[in-house]
């Protein structure tokens, strides 16, 4: 944590900057737009409807839409935040101005004020409390949504939050979440006071506000571009793991400019040349889909990640038949088969269910579901295609071979969430990887990890024993494939630069 | 000062003002009277172009108002509304100063004008720093008037200026307005649905119905020479009261019966209305009044009966 504590201030300032740059743009565009639609009532419904629809788009999805249009980094994040801030500002400006007492406007006209004079001297000052309420709402929304900006490499406190979730590190989550919450409360408090100022002072506030917005916006120091030849996008988890970026620096002495980005958009960003190097999983179907090449881990930094089902011992005791059923998959899927299956889901957009069923049929393992009894088990999965496929396979196997009902909780966002779920008995089964168990969940000290020399059997046994005694969770037999971490680049570029291993990459970067 | 010629205003297919023509002379107080929806307010708003006419023409000071930019036109016409329309975010001082500031008067002149106005409309100087919502309804209406008068416009349009006040305040303020020195030389067009208000404030009354002027004239002309049933029906509910209010002692002097034998009769100005004469008798707890003929100087002693008989005789004469 010590080396990260200095980062809090950086990320806090980035966060404030992101929030207020987008807010500033939203005010500059939203207030005039709100005024405009009070003059053109026919357009009002359309504009309010449209901004309302924007508001309902899940923030992650909105950020995802931005990638193909604007790439990654602060620009798409600011645009997305701007779109979120727009509705409350436009709506409140519209409501504020339409609710100004008509008698007052009438008398202003009657005295010979021009339309502009009525706007600036009557309508805006009188609707200012309502407009400020809209800006206040938008600020609080933006502080919250800005945490998601780290998904697309825009920084902010989200780096800590999502890093912490991925790394099973509660302190790290809090280091991001608490400042974010305090920020929201602080700005809400300040703006609530601005709002309550008497009508007279609001006129001053009206000019102060843009000033403060600009000031706060300047906190976001745009990242200096082109400091190294390549840009790497790493997931929050990879940024923090010992066998992730810190390991790359230690073992390979690799120094590359990095941004934090979510797994969901990373491959695409690499494909679209927004990123040059990314971390990924060696069995990921998107490798094939986006023409990426895995760089050889010639110094054996990444430990083996053999996948195997994790099951609660309590459940195994209650339904002993489960063990054999789940082990039917053991040794059946090797790396290339898994990559192929993932490719079907990630690229060919087949449903995980169909891919799972096709595979089981082919292997002769598929059986029609038996009649269901009262009892049920819950299968969980992390939020990527491979886990969905495995969860579906296990679900089909259980239904075909036992009378148990199966419920699924798929798409759990990260190791910590999955493991907490099984530890808290919210799920009974989920596929996990030996390396993740060793490093992320058990947080095994370096000395012990080093003693395994990357031996997959030793690691499996160690993890199995530890989980058994510590968490009452059993590792069943490995499925066969090794979904290890990998660094990858676009194939064409790798060929052009003659980079095949991580050492090659290091040498290329340290030239000049 | 103002001339309307065959003015028509249509809202969609409904005709709000249907061929209205009239003239207002300089310094005259004209009242547009009628029930709600008769087109009186619309007619008023046509004059300062808050509503644009559909056809016909309106001249102010001989100039067609269509040729004057609406803002410029309005800055030179005082406008008082039922809901005073004071700016809630402006102090009283700032409210009154709006039009002078629009006209870019020097601050010194504005300041002097405000103090002058305050005195004339009977408002204490310490209200200047207050906001409208801190004032009573009557005070707000006075500020509304002061604001309309701020730039000293020769013409004043008033739309139900006392409509939002309670009956008692309304009565007092109406009386007060009719005596205000600042209004003496103004040309005023006032809209009301209140017959008493119309009689009290109007030199001439234009009775409107369904967008048309039904009859125009002084209160006595309307009361005693109604041109049709609509006019007589319009006044029928308060007829007696209205007659007493609009007939002056001097008007019926010739019809008054003199009773010689009463020495303790009290002298009264012949420029009082019959209503005021009766009120006076009741207040003084007397039965007899002394009235002097303004022309011949003759003095008559009159009682209640004589007053009412005199009124009847006047009406008889009017019908013949």
pLDDT tens-digit series, residues A141-197: 999 989 888 877 788 888 888 878 777 778 888 988 999 999 999 989 988 887 776
Give the Cα separation of B195 and B239 in Å (integer). Answer: 10
* String of DSSP letters for A348-383: S---HHHHHHHHHHHTT---PPPPP-S-EEEEEEES
pLDDT tens-digit series, residues A461-485: 999 999 999 999 999 999 999 888 8
Give the pLDDT band of residue A221 (cuts 50, 70, 90).
low
A116 touches chain B (CB under 8 A): no
Residue ending a domain, among B216, B243, B270, is B243
pLDDT exceeds cutoff 50 at A400: yes
Q: Are residues B214 and B253 in the same domain?
A: no
Q: Are residues B171 and B277 in the same domain?
A: no
Nearest residue in chain A measured CA to CA from B90: A200
Q: Which residues numbered 118-157 in B keep a CB inside 8 Å of some CB on A? A: 131, 147
Q: Are residues B9 and B80 in the same domain?
A: yes
From its phi and psi, is residue B152 left (phi > 0), alpha (psi between -120 and 50) or beta?
left
> Which tops the pLDDT comparison, A212 or A269?
A269
High-pLDDT (> 70) share of chain A, %: 94
When CB atoms are compared, the residue of B83, B88, B147 closest to A199 is B88
The SS3 of residue B6 is strand
pLDDT (0 to 100) of residue B182: 79
The contacts of residue A374 (CB under 8 Å, 6+ apart) are: A405
Q: Are residues B90 and B65 in the same domain?
A: yes
pLDDT exceeds cutoff 60 at A19: yes
Q: Are residues B232 and B288 in the same domain?
A: no
pLDDT (0 to 100) of residue B107: 92
> Which tops the pLDDT comparison, B156 or A385?
B156
**CATH code, domain with B41:** 3.40.50.300
pLDDT tens-digit series, residues A287-339: 888 888 888 888 888 888 899 999 999 999 999 999 999 999 999 998 889 98
pLDDT (0 to 100) of residue A105: 93
A129 touches chain B (CB under 8 A): no
pLDDT tens-digit series, residues A101-110: 998 999 999 9
**CATH code, domain with B271:** 3.90.1280
pLDDT (0 to 100) of residue B300: 83
Mean pLDDT across chain A = 86
ipTM above 0.85, yes or no: no
Rounded to the nearest angstrom, the minimum Cα separation between B79 and chain A is 6
Domains of chain A: 2-217 (1.10.3720.10), 231-299+486-510 (3.40.190.120), 307-483 (3.10.105.10)
Q: Are residues B147 and B41 in the same domain?
A: yes
Nearest residue in chain B measured CA to CA from A128: B89
Residue numbers in chain B where pLDDT is lower than 50: none
Rounded to the nearest angstrom, the minimum Cα separation between B119 and chain A is 22
Q: Tell me if B102 sits within 8 A of A112, measured CB to CB.
A: yes
Query: Which residues on adjacent β-strands are paired with residue B286?
Result: none
pLDDT exceeds cutoff 50 at A125: yes
pLDDT (0 to 100) of residue A261: 84
pLDDT exceeds cutoff 70 at A15: yes
B85 touches chain A (CB under 8 A): yes
pLDDT exceeds cutoff 60 at A225: no
pLDDT (0 to 100) of residue A111: 92
Helices (H) and strands (E) in chain A, counts: 25, 10
pTM: 0.69
Rounded to the nearest angstrom, the minimum Cα separation between A189 and chain B is 24
Strand A307-312 and strand A376-382: the pairing is unpaired
Residue ending a domain, among B243, B277, B302, is B243
Q: Are residues B306 and B189 in the same domain?
A: no
Number of domains in chain B: 2
When CB atoms are compared, the residue of A111, A125, A126 closest to B98 is A111
Q: Are residues B214 and B192 in the same domain?
A: yes
Residue range(s) defining the domain that contains residue B79: 2-243
pLDDT (0 to 100) of residue A206: 63
The SS3 of residue B265 is coil
High-pLDDT (> 90) share of chain A, %: 32
End-to-end CA distance of chain A: 33
Residue ending a domain, among B243, B260, B277, is B243
pLDDT tens-digit series, residues B81-116: 888 889 998 999 999 999 999 999 999 999 999 988
pLDDT tens-digit series, residues B136-146: 888 888 899 89
pLDDT exceeds cutoff 80 at A213: no
B83 touches chain A (CB under 8 A): yes
pLDDT tens-digit series, residues A59-103: 878 877 777 788 777 888 888 899 889 999 999 999 999 999 998
Q: Are residues B272 and B237 in the same domain?
A: no
Sign of CA dihedral A450, A456, A457, A462: positive
Q: Are residues B88 and B194 in the same domain?
A: yes
Q: Are residues B13 and B130 in the same domain?
A: yes
> Which tops the pLDDT comparison, A63 or A508?
A508
pLDDT (0 to 100) of residue A94: 94
Q: Are residues B128 and B189 in the same domain?
A: yes
pLDDT (0 to 100) of residue B208: 92
Give the Cα separation of A431 and A478 in Å (integer). Answer: 10
pLDDT tens-digit series, residues B266-307: 888 888 888 888 888 888 887 888 888 878 878 888 888 888
pLDDT (0 to 100) of residue B164: 73
> Which tops the pLDDT comparison, A490 or A262?
A490
Give the Cα separation of A344 and A342 in Å (integer). Answer: 5
């Amino acid at each position: 944590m010590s080396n990260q504590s200095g980062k809090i201030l950086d990320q806090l300032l980035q966060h404030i900057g992101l929030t207020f740059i987008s807010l500033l743009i939203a005010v500059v565009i939203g207030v005039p737009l709100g005024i405009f639609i009070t003059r053109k009532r026919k357009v009002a419904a359309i504009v309010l409807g449209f901004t309302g629809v924007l508001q309902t788009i899940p923030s992650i999805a909105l950020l995802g839409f931005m990638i193909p249009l604007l790439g990654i980094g602060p620009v798409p994040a600011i645009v997305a935040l701007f779109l979120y801030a727009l509705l409350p500002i436009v709506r409140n400006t519209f409501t504020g101005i339409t609710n100004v007492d008509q008698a007052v406007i009438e008398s202003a006209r009657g005295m010979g004020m021009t339309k502009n004079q009525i706007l600036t001297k009557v309508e805006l000052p009188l609707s200012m409390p309502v407009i400020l309420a809209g800006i206040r709402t938008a600020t609080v929304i933006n502080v919250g949504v800005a945490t998601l900006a780290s998904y697309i490499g825009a920084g902010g406190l989200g780096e800590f939050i999502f890093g912490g979730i991925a790394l099973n590190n509660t302190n790290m989550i809090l280091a991001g979440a608490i400042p974010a919450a305090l920020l929201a409360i602080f700005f809400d408090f300040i703006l609530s006071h601005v709002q309550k100022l008497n009508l007279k002072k609001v006129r001053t506030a009206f000019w102060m506000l843009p000033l403060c917005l600009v000031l706060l916006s300047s906190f976001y120091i745009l990242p200096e571009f082109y400091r190294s030849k390549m840009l790497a996008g790493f997931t929050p988890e990879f940024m923090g793991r010992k066998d992730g970026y810190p390991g790359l620096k230690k073992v390979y002495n690799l120094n590359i400019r990095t941004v934090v980005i979510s797994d969901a958009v990373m491959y695409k960003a690499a494909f679209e040349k927004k990123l040059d190097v990314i971390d990924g999983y060696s069995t990921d179907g998107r490798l094939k889909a986006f023409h990426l090449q895995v760089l050889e881990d010639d110094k054996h930094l990444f430990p083996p990640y053999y996948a195997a089902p994790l099951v609660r011992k309590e459940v195994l005791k209650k339904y002993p038949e489960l063990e054999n059923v789940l082990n039917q998959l053991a040794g059946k899927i090797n790396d290339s088969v898994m990559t192929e299956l993932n490719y079907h889901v990630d690229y060919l957009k087949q449903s995980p269910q169909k891919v799972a069923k096709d595979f089981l049929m082919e292997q002769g393992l598929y059986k029609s579901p038996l009649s269901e009894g009262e009892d049920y088990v819950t299968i969980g999965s992390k939020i990527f295609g491979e886990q969905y496929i495995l969860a579906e396979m296990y679900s089909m196997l259980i239904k075909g071979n036992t009378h148990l009902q199966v419920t699924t909780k798929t798409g759990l966002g990260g190791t910590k969430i999955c493991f907490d779920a099984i530890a808290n008995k919210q799920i009974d089964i989920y596929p996990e990887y030996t390396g993740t168990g060793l490093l992320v969940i058990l947080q095994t000290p370096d000395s012990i990890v080093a003693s395994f020399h990357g031996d997959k059997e030793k690691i499996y046994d160690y993890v199995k024993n530890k989980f058994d005694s510590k968490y009452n969770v059993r590792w069943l037999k490995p499925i066969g494939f090794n979904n290890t971490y990998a660094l990858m680049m676009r194939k064409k570029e790798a060929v052009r630069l003659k980079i095949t291993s991580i050492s090659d990459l290091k040498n290329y970067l340290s030239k000049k | 000062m103002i001339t309307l010629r065959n003015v028509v205003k249509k809202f969609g297919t409904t005709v709000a003002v249907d061929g209205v023509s009239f003239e207002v002379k300089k310094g005259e107080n004209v009242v547009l009277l009628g029930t709600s929806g008769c087109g009186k307010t619309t007619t008023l708003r046509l004059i300062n172009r808050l509503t644009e006419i559909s056809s016909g023409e309106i001249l102010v000071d001989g100039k067609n108002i269509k040729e004057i930019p609406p803002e410029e036109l309005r800055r030179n016409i005082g406008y008082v509304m039922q809901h005073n329309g004071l700016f809630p975010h402006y102090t009283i001082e700032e409210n009154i100063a709006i039009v002078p500031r629009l006209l870019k008067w020097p601050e010194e002149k504005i300041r002097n004008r405000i103090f002058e106005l305050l005195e004339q409309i009977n408002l204490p100087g310490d209200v200047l720093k207050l906001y409208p919502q801190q004032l009573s309804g009557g005070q707000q209406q006075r500020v509304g008037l002061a604001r309309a008068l701020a730039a000293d416009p020769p013409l004043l349009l008033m739309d139900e200026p006392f409509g939002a006040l309670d009956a008692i305040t309304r009565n007092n303020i109406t009386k007060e307005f009719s005596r205000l020195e600042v209004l003496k030389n103004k040309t005023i067009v006032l809209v009301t649905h209140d017959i008493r208000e119309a009689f009290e404030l109007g030199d001439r009354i234009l009775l409107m119905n369904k967008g048309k002027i039904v009859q125009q004239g002084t209160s006595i002309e309307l009361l005693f020479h109604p041109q049709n049933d609509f006019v007589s029906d319009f006044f029928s509910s308060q007829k007696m009261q209205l007659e007493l209010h609009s007939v002056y002692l001097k008007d019926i002097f010739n019809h008054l019966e003199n009773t010689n034998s009463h020495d303790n009769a009290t002298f009264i100005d012949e420029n009082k209305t019959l209503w005021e004469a009766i009120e006076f008798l009741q207040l003084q707890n007397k039965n007899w009044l002394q009235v002097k003929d303004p022309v011949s100087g003759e003095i008559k002693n009159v009682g209640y009966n004589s007053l009412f008989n005199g009124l009847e005789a006047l009406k008889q004469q009017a019908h013949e």
